[in-house]
Chain A
Amino acid sequence: MEKHLEHKFVKELEDNQNIVHKICRLYTNDQDSHNDLFQEITIQLWKAYPKFRGDSKFSTWMYRVALNTAITLYRKSKRSIKTQDFEGVSFKIASEEYDNTEEKQLSLMYSAVKELNDIDKALVFLYLEDKNYKEISETLGISEVNARVKMNRIKDKIRKILNP
């Protein structure tokens, strides 16, 4: 039984690992911390897995647990994010089809998002993941109205970070 569950879990996590990697990228600044956070999220997901009943999608459930883990861990360590660390993880681009200025803008945007506090980051992340406000509010356990208000404030914050 335990074995069967374990394999099912690993398989599903393998299929949905992009979500966790994106969260790790957003919350950490180097490869080691990225791996640590990934590992921690994996363990937390596994611990919570027996309670996952399948009435929501695996990925939806995963967003909640993974973001909670990232937020809690982030709080615990009170890591301060230094701007100069961004280079290593900033948005790299493989192809040349995007012109340089857009690329630069994207990179700046990403850095701005990384400067947000842990909760705001979670909100932006879900927004970027194309979640609607209903899903965002459910995942983060806040009301839909609250999510909208917060999102607007975050957009202002980002604007300020980008145009000081």
Chain B
Amino acid sequence: MDELELLKSQWHSRDEELPRLTYGEIYKMLLKKSSSIVKWILFISIAEIVFWTILAFSLPDSSHEFTDDLGLHDIMFTANILYYIVFVFFIIIFYRNYKKISTTDSIKDLMGNIIRTRKTVKYFIIYNIAGASVMMLAINIFYYTNQDLVFDLMVADYGVLSTMDKQQFITIFFWTQAIIGLVFIALIVLFYRLVYGILLRRLKRNYEELEKIEA
């Protein structure tokens, strides 16, 4: 007898030995999309920190000369270090979220992990936007309380005419600062809304789908 025929004759009778997945288990496989969303959150946050680092290094020295002249070098340096430490801390959390989500095998845990991930991403966004705002506000308060110094430095090093009316200069200076600051923050908000917003909405949708199976 043909060897293969023997196997064939037994083939279908072996079906009971096969594993059997339930509807819920199969459905959940479709929702594993969550783990790829969380992976993207991780990748984007890493790309972001790389981008900021490259930007910081590629800026000409003259860009922080002004703050250095004002005697803010150490404070700025410390603030930057702190910023990076917290940023890295978030990346670690994102990584752990990703690991957890991709290894979960109960719907309930998956739901819990999705909630946790959404929360951390929200904190991350708040941290970045609030951080940038506070930083800008603090610098401008410093400028404001040291108007004379700012004006003198501008005259001495940055080609501002000493004949210019000081009050007029200060007004223009702060208006410019305010506009640039607002535009910058608006860009950050837009970026987070777009990139992380889309990912968060997808996670939310997955969560709602999971909720239905659990119900």
Contact = CB atoms under 8 A, between A and B. Distances in A.
Q: Say whether A and B bind each other.
A: yes
Interface of A: 6, 10-11, 13-14, 17-18, 21-22, 25, 34, 38-39, 42-43, 46, 91-92, 94, 102, 105-106, 109-110, 112-113, 124, 127-130, 155, 158-159, 162
Given A10-B23, A42-B30, A110-B7, 12 more contacts: A10-B26, A13-B26, A22-B18, A39-B32, A91-B14, A106-B6, A106-B7, A109-B7, A155-B3, A158-B3, A159-B3, A162-B3
Given A17-B21, A18-B18, A92-B17, A42 B7 contact: no
A17 B19 CA distance: 9
A59 B27 CA distance: 18
B54 to A, nearest CB: 33
A17 B14 contact: no
Interface in B1-41: 2-4, 6-8, 10-12, 14-23, 26-27, 29-30, 32
A63 B141 CA distance: 69
Interface of B: 2-4, 6-8, 10-12, 14-23, 26-27, 29-30, 32
A159 B5 CA distance: 12
A159 B2 CA distance: 9
Given A10-B26, A10-B30, A155 B20 contact: no
Given A13-B26, A17-B26, A43-B29, A105 B6 contact: yes
A127 B22 contact: no
A17 B20 CA distance: 8
Contacts of B12: 130
B14 A39 contact: no
A-B pairs with lowest CB-CB distance, top 3: A21-B18, A42-B29, A109-B7
A24 B29 CA distance: 15
B7 to A, nearest CB: 5
Contacts of A39: 29, 32
B11 to A, nearest CB: 5
Contacts, number: 69
Nearest to A7: B27
Contacts of B6: 102, 105-106, 109
A11 B16 CA distance: 19
Contact of B15 (A6, A18, A102): A18
22 contacts: A10-B23, A11-B23, A14-B21, A14-B22, A17-B18, A17-B20, A17-B26, A21-B19, A38-B21, A43-B30, A106-B6, A106-B7, A106-B10, A109-B6, A109-B7, A110-B7, A127-B4, A129-B11, A130-B8, A155-B3, A158-B4, A159-B3
Contact of B4 (A17, A22, A92, A124): A124
A104 to B, nearest CB: 11
Given A18-B18, A43-B30, A155 B4 contact: yes
Contacts of A127: 4, 8
Nearest to B24: A10
B4 A6 contact: no
A128 B11 contact: yes
Contacts of A10: 23, 26-27, 30
A145 B7 CA distance: 23
A113 B18 contact: no
A39 B28 CA distance: 10
Contacts of A155: 2-4
Contacts of A11: 23
